[in-house]
Structure 1
Amino acid sequence: MIVEIPGRETLEIKDIVFDYNGTIAIDGKLIGDVSKNINELSSSFNFYVITADTYGTVKKELENTNCKVITIPALSQDMAKLNFVKELGLNTCLSVGNGRNDKLMLKETILGIAILQDEGLCTETLLNSDILVKSIFDVFAFLKDSNRLIATLRN
């Protein structure tokens, strides 16, 4: 996806990195229709879910979803997430999260989206993001219609 945004650099998005809990899942359970949306968009983007898997449910919940699950250790999660997006390439990666451990990846990727759903949003993460959304489905809407990104980010 290439998006030309007036007054800002052109975005080329290849990789989408989602935090799990609070972002695409609530209390360890995948939010309804997340898998369907990822599967619909997986021919256009590479999807990754990065998590410490607090509830131990991520692999089962995502077993029929076209994404790669990255499990990280419980310690230094913010650095593990940052290092992962650096490996993918910061200039073509969109990241989405809500927790304090997401703040670095949201700050450094070409586009960082903070999400405020049932599990809340860390203020530091919000301040490191480019966009705030109220639902994971708002992120999918951006990916399906780049005009929404343009309207939100243009100068």
Structure 2
Amino acid sequence: MISLDIPGFGKLEIEHLVLDYNGTLALDGSLLPGVGKLLKELAEDVNIHVLTADTLGQCEDELSGLPVTIHIISGSPEDRSKLEYVNSLGMDKCACVGNGRNDMLMLRHSALGIIISGSECMSMSAARAADLVATDITGALGLFTHPVRMLATLRN
């Protein structure tokens, strides 16, 4: 678990890190460089979940051997399916990272929502729902390997 008390924001006790795949962990279906190593490091402290519609059909192969639980979203609308998954884990124990409109609800309702503004861009509706914006996935995951980084941005 990652625990951090942020003045003005509150206490975070993150047990689950929920990640979107395409546009967040991957570009055009391929896992971004360095992400696998970071996921292995983070798995020592949190349970990692990857939610995806797997549009390009590469998610399971790309994440093979990594300590993650993959959940293929089949229900529609996708934003509701992702929210239901996060709710089943306990929203107050989840940090969520995504970039798309279908990530908006999980970003809004989780304990901590981070949007990625990367090569595939980001949905503005999802950005308004997030607590933080990261320019890439390594920056977002770095917040969890070095949690005190969140203090400067989230404290009041």
- With the length of structure 2 as denominator, give the TM-score of the two structures: 0.97
Aligned to 1:60: 61
Tell me the CA shift for residue 10 of structure 1: 0.6
Aligned to 2:145: 144
CA distance in 2, matches of 1:8, 1:128: 15
What is the number of residues matched between the two proteins?
Answer: 155
SS, match of residue 75 in structure 1 = coil
Question: 1:3-152 residue pairs with structure 2 within 5 A?
Answer: 3-73=4-74, 75-152=76-153
CA distance in 1, matches of 2:9, 2:144: 18
Gaps of 5+ in 2: none
SS, match of residue 148 in structure 2 = helix
- With the length of structure 1 as denominator, give the TM-score of the two structures: 0.98
CA distance in 1, matches of 2:107, 2:62: 24
Aligned amino acid, residue 138 of structure 1: G
**More off after superposition, 72-81 vs 41-50:** 72-81
Aligned amino acid, residue 134 of structure 1: T
RMSD: 0.8
Aligned amino acid, residue 93 of structure 2: T
Aligned to 2:155: 154
SS, match of residue 132 in structure 1 = strand
Cα deviation 1:36-67 (Å, max 9, x = unaligned): 11011111000000001000000000002110
8 Å contact kept, 1:35–1:64:
no
Aligned amino acid, residue 146 of structure 1: P
SS, match of residue 146 in structure 1 = coil
Tell me the CA shift for residue 33 of structure 1: 1.2
CA distance in 1, matches of 2:89, 2:75: 21
SS, match of residue 4 in structure 1 = strand
8 Å contact kept, 1:52–1:74:
no
Aligned amino acid, residue 89 of structure 2: L
CA distance in 2, matches of 1:140, 1:51: 18
Tell me the CA shift for residue 74 of structure 1: 6.0
Tell me the CA shift for residue 8 of structure 1: 2.0
Aligned amino acid, residue 149 of structure 1: M
